[in-house]
């Protein structure tokens, strides 16, 4: 298999790993990429696209806990949790679709 074609396949799978090994596969590719800058770029980009929902989830839990501790109002925490979960679901869905689109663009090019 031609090296460029193999690189394209690995680059595409870095984004598609959102389906089977999110976060882990891009890290493995990133560590094994060596001097291949394009492969390293796509692995890092895919890694951050996979990590963003995790970071947002952690921030949502921390903010809900903080609001719950300081306000002691169940209604505020309930509405805030519904809003944050909705925002998190939208962002996660958009990033999921974006990862698939990036992989298809790499495979097509």
pLDDT digits (tens, 9 = 90+) for 9-54: 999 999 999 999 889 999 999 999 888 899 999 999 999 999 999 9
pTM, rounded to two decimals: 0.86
Distance CA 5, CA 87 (A): 38
Separation between Cα atoms, residue 99 and residue 101, nearest integer Å: 5
Which two three-digit tokens encode residue 103? 């992989």
72: left (phi over 0), alpha (psi -120 to 50) or beta: left
């Amino acid at each position: 298999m031609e090296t460029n074609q193999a690189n394209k396949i690995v680059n595409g799978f870095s984004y598609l790993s959102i389906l089977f090994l999110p976060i882990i596969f891009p890290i493995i590719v990133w560590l094994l990429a060596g001097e291949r800058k394009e492969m390293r770029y796509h692995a890092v980009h895919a890694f951050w696209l996979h990590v963003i929902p995790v970071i947002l989830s952690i921030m949502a839990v921390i903010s809900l806990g903080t609001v719950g501790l300081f306000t002691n109002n169940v209604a505020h925490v309930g509405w805030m949790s519904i809003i944050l979960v909705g925002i998190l679901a939208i962002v996660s869905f958009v990033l999921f679709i974006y990862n698939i689109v990036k992989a298809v663009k790499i495979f097509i090019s």
